[in-house]
Structure 1
């Protein structure tokens, strides 16, 4: 019979590794974007969270 507990923990570890890789890639992309010269005509638009109560 397969050891489902071990299989589950192996899967959870791989998912955590994948999340770390994606987070690092996102952070590197954001840092690269922020360090570049501004693009003419590019506007930053703030999006308000509708679920958040006004402060």
Structure 2
């Protein structure tokens, strides 16, 4: 008979590893974004209103 408890724990541990890998990748990308140079802000002149 299969050891369902061991099967469950094996799958659970693998799922936990996958979630941790994704979280680390997300945090790494967030840090790269925050460390990147900011683009300059360019303002256009206001549009002329027709009366």
Q: For the superposition of Structure 1 and Structure 2, which TM-score range results when normalised by the shorter chain?
A: 0.7 to 0.9
| TM-score calculated relative to the size of structure 1 | 0.69
Q: CA RMSD, aligned part only?
A: 1.1
Q: Deviations over 1:7-28 (max 9, x none)?
A: 0000000000001000000000
Name structure 2 gaps, 5 residues minimum: 42-51
Q: Which residue of 2 aligns with 1:11?
A: 11
- Which one has a larger percent helix, Structure 1 or Structure 2? 2
Q: How many residue pairs are counted as aligned between the two chains? A: 41
How far apart, CA to CA, are the structure 1 residues paired with 2:40 and 2:6? 54
Name structure 1 gaps, 5 residues minimum: 42-55
Deviates further, 31-40 or 13-22: 31-40
Q: Highest CA radius of gyration, 1 or 2?
A: 2
| TM-score calculated relative to the size of structure 2 | 0.74
